Amino acid sequence: MRWVYSPAHVLHDPVHEVQFGVPVPAYEVPARAEAIREAMEADDSFERIAPSEHGVEPILRVHEPRMVHFLEEAWAQWAEHHRRRAAGPVDHPDAPVPALIPDSFLHPAIREGMGSSPEPRQNPVARAGMWGFETMTPIGPGTYRAARAAVDVALTAADLVLDGQPAAYGLCRPPGHHAPRAAFGGYCFFNNAAIAAEHLAGATGERVAILDLDYHHGNGTQQIFYRRANVLYVSLHGDPDRAYPYFAGWAEETGAGPGIGATLNIPLPEGCSDRAYLTELRRGLEAIRSYRCPFLVVSLGVDTHREDPICDFALTTPVYEEIGQRVRGLGMRTVVLQEGGYHLPSIGPSVRGFLRGVDGTATPAPPA
């Protein structure tokens, strides 16, 4: 299998995120993608290729242009804002510019019954609070370039499949599935999987299925396609009653308008085992099979692993190969894109195992 990697991901290098109001060391760090890269490079059945540039147009087909524009200029505006502020009594002028993290959000209730707010133009903190939805997704000097490169990785993987490869993998970082049309958050800026799905649908006129295997519900992907009949979204995830992103991912959400029936959420309990996961996966794969389309995009998060520091499932490393084999059993042309996974020692073997399963190069089971 060919897989796509860009070293530009290291340009997004957050030091802290703010969880429960407290700065903690960032989880979504460059070492994640490097751990996966090392595992992939240790396996001769995978061939690494570089992404090609696709420009901003495929992003604008999915995301609000004003948000894309904000992300492009956010760091420069924030650095300038910080310098001006530092010239006053607040900070030393030579103090390093911290990452931009919003602290005031455009909660819908603020504007209830009043129509929408214009975008505040002058203050980058206000703009970040308009386009961001939480405090765990810092914007640094290289964030925009890394996020653009992640989209190129996703689109290049999609192109491999359009060109006839049965499957391809894009090591996207930062991840994407939490980003809805007009917001960033959940470590995500641009929705790589949604952009790839739109690219496949646009290039071929065919329908596309998305299977989201990350521990967290892909609220962004669901939102983008919620009213669309030509993209099926299926997700297995921690029940939003306890798990981030809390406000989407309920089983009752099945799509709206022309998209009714094209969303399937499978919320799962704490401690979900290999066996329970595989049982529920069958239901998701059945829905994809019944949808009858040639293309599949997999949002692959391995934060479902039992060792993951921020999630609560109990999957073991070997089960990822089994999951990959079952995805292979769909017989669809498959683009696998990286989402989450935060336990550095296990993410490489888990991702590689899944891809070996998809590729049909899985390790044969030992004789009984």
Q: How far is the CB of 285 from Zn ion (least distance, A)?
A: 20
| Contact stretch for Zn ion (CB under 5 A) within 75-83, 129-137, 139-147, 211-219 | 211-219
Residue 214 touches Zn ion, criterion: CB under 5 A: yes
Query: Alpha-carbon distance 150 to 338, whole Å?
Result: 10
Residue 178 known to be catalytic: yes
Residue 303 touches Zn ion, criterion: CB under 5 A: yes
Q: Out of 238, 284, 340, 357, which residue is the one contacting Zn ion (CB under 5 A)?
A: 340
Q: Out of 37, 127, 178, 216, which residue is the one contacting Zn ion (CB under 5 A)?
A: 216
Q: Which residues is 4 bridged to in the sheet?
A: 49, 170
Q: Which residue has the tokens 């707010």?
A: 117
Q: Which helix (H) or strand (E) holds 125?
A: helix 124-131
Given the complex with Zn ion, which of 134 and 303 has the nearer CB atom?
Answer: 303
Contacts of 152 (CB under 8 A, 6+ apart): 6, 51, 52, 53, 54
CA torsion through residues 21, 24, 30, 33, sign: negative
How many residues sit close enough to Zn ion to count as binding (CB under 5 A)? 6
Query: Alpha-carbon distance 236 to 296, whole Å?
Result: 15
Name the active-site residue from 9, 82, 178, 199.
178
| Contact stretch for Zn ion (CB under 5 A) within 59-67, 97-105, 130-138, 300-308 | 300-308
Q: Out of 301, 348, 349, 357, which residue is the one contacting Zn ion (CB under 5 A)?
A: 301
Q: How far is the CB of 247 from Zn ion (least distance, A)?
A: 15
> Which residues 31-60 are close enough to bind Zn ion by CB under 5 A?
none
| Contact stretch for Zn ion (CB under 5 A) within 71-79, 110-118, 278-286, 294-302 | 294-302
Q: Which helix (H) or strand (E) holds 335?
A: strand 333-338
Q: How far is the CB of 221 from Zn ion (least distance, A)?
A: 12
For residue 14, which of 178, 141, 192, 193 has the smallest C-alpha distance?
141
The site string for Zn ion over 242-281 (x = CB under 5 A, - otherwise) reads: ----------------------------------------
257 in Cβ contact with 295 (< 8 Å):
no
176 in Cβ contact with 154 (< 8 Å):
yes
State whether residue 265 is helix, strand or coil. Answer: strand
Query: Which residue has its beta carbon closest to Zn ion?
Result: 340
For residue 190, which of 246, 242, 140, 152 has the smallest C-alpha distance?
152
Given the complex with Zn ion, which of 266 and 293 has the nearer CB atom?
Answer: 266
Catalytic positions: 178
